[in-house]
Amino acid sequence: MAKQDKLYIIKIGGNVIDNSRNLHEFLKDFHDLEGFKILVHGGGKVATELGKDLGVEPKMIDGRRITDVETLRIVTMVYAGLINKNIVAQLQFRGCNAIGLTGADGNLIRAQKRPVKEIDYGFVGDLHETSVASHMLSKILEDGLIPVFSAITHDGEGQLLNTNADTIASAIAVAMSKHYETSLIYCFEKKGVLKDVDDDDSVVREIPSGDFEQLKSDGIVAGGMIPKLHNAFEAIKSGVSEVFIGKADELDQLSKQTFGTRLIN
């Protein structure tokens, strides 16, 4: 293991997971990416649909899922089971020796149950600076395996926890930046940060941290993109080399430096 070794941590969400064609194309590009790599995935719509089939209606507050006991059972089955193992099997088919993981496996990601304040989110995990066992994760990478993390962690006391996949990806990137030159890549439905939200080709190719406040003032960065970029720049301040935000089906453009928006210090 050497600090100069390159590591990519890539997070995908429902726009990839819910569409088999999108997932197929993404995994092909993920396979072609050279260097060490880790994949983090969310749950898409599958958990919600299965829950409804089982008579468990999703409980949401401000767009966030409340994870009660029944919901935790469902998201664990879907995230750590069905989705995770499907991705691992498809990567094996492509010659990537992937291993599907939750945070409980190898004690790789230990979270804390979110404290109850105004809202009780249930069995939701929050991460802290020492959550990720970076040395253990490095051993997995050095053994030639490609970790595929679902959005399930644990508290070290026998309790599984539902944890935001964006947060998991960021925490892994920060922890691993002590060992590797680390790039964090968030794949979502847009091509990147757009100057004009109605023009998919108006991508802002690079944003230094010093330009963030001005872009917010100009309204170019707004809504849900504000916390996403804020968290990205926090990761960069904590040692991550760069963060990309872009569309999953353009991952092959990463080597050509024409993928999405690149965020730098």
**162 annotated ligand binder:** yes
**97 annotated ligand binder:** no
> How far apart, in whole angstroms, are the C-alpha atoms of residue 104 and residue 102?
5
**95 annotated ligand binder:** no
| Number of neighbours of residue 139 by Cβ within 10 angstroms | 13
Helix (H, G, I), strand (E, B) or coil at 159: coil
| 251 CB-near residues (< 8 Å, 6+ apart) | 10, 26, 29, 30, 33, 185, 187, 259
Region label for 62, one of left (φ > 0), alpha (ψ between -120 and 50) or beta (otherwise): left
Q: Which amino acid is at 224?
A: G
Strand partners, 147: 99
**43 annotated ligand binder:** yes
> How far apart, in whole angstroms, are the C-alpha atoms of residue 10 and residue 187?
7
Q: Binding site: which residues?
A: 43-44, 65, 162
Q: Binding site for substrate: which residues?
A: 43-44, 65, 162
